[in-house]
Amino acid sequence: MAAAASLIAGHVRRTPTLPADEILPGILVKPELLQPTGSFKVRGAFNAALRLRRLSPDTPGVITVSSGNHGQAVALAARSLGLACTVVMPEGSNPVKVAAVRALGATVVSDGVTAANREERVLALQQRTGLALIHPFDAWDTIHGQGTIGLELLEDVPDLGLLIAPVGGGGLVSGCALAVKAARPEVRVVGVEPELAADAAASRRSGRHERLAAASATIADGLRSMSVGTRGFEVIVERGLVDDVVTVSEEEIERAMVAAWTRLHLVVEPSGAVGLAALLAGRIAPAPARTRTAAILSGGNVDPGLAARLLAIHAASLATGGSPP
């Protein structure tokens, strides 16, 4: 993990740890939405791409699969290193994210791609093109890059007692758990996922690698993975380094987004807001006495249509005497 932090320094931002007393007293947030592409994904993407270039200098290009944020991150890393880049994205992906991937010079493949078949499609395309795969969550280089967030939180918050991270494919929470538990095993690590995409919570309950029966329709588009990766399952369930995985409703995610926008002045996307949603809904037990809680706000690439809808509802509520979220 320390090697990853050293490798990606200069390519990613060391984001601050900020108080969120306007929402919940004593809570800290790590706004990864301040990264160059608007999410934490640049950490894993640059670590994987830089290691690939070091180990295989003749690699002509890279390929990945993504709902958007990882695709942007890999596209940026590829452009920085002079590599070709192809991103496989499901049809109907967030248009802001699709446009951003293309703007970074990547080729987007979406025809016939769904959340259910995207892994199969990217592997077939990789075999046909010979491009190197940078997986969004099920690769140690990616996981170790994401885990640098945990290292920074340990430095910034000496009395950290609880770390909260979103869970989609499991790369972020796994990397942070590996980093934090190695140095401070008493720190609790809790993952949060939407009720509509609760495969990690189900896996932790059953002890088996559970998979969603169908593609999720959650607004948290970055957390729609059909299941956590095999490496994430190892860290979360088999090694037990994640202390709990809780779920939040769509309405709770929306309320947390508006709270972050209007009270913290941070533009958080649905996937990035699930940790705040869990805290606001009381889903997570408080941190131990004399310790602090930090929630990772993983991204800020919001669909303009969704933002307009939520802000209109918020404005209408305030106009009729409603209270802020």
Order of strands across the sheet that contains 107-109: 107-109, 84-88, 61-65, 132-133
Instruction: Return the sign of the alpha-carbon dihedral for residues 297, 303, 308, 314.
Output: negative
Catalytic residue among 30, 39, 41, 93: 41
- C-alpha distances (whole Å) from 295 to each of 50, 161, 192, 284, 308 are 28, 11, 10, 11, 25
End-to-end CA distance of the chain: 37
Q: Which of 157-192 are b and which e, b meaning 16 or more Cβ less than 10 Å from the residue's Cβ?
A: beebbbbbbbbbbbbbbbbbbbbbbeeeeebbbbbb
Concerning whether 97 is annotated as a catalytic residue, the answer is no
Angle at 42 between CA 217 and CA 162, to 5 degrees: 75
Q: What's the alpha-carbon Rg for the chain, to the nearest Å?
A: 19
Catalytic residue among 66, 67, 174, 271: 67
Q: Is 109 exposed, middle or buried (0-12, 13-18, 19+ CB in 10 A)?
A: middle
Residue 292: its H or E element: strand 292-297
Concerning whether 41 is annotated as a catalytic residue, the answer is yes
Q: Which residues are identified as catalytic?
A: 41, 67
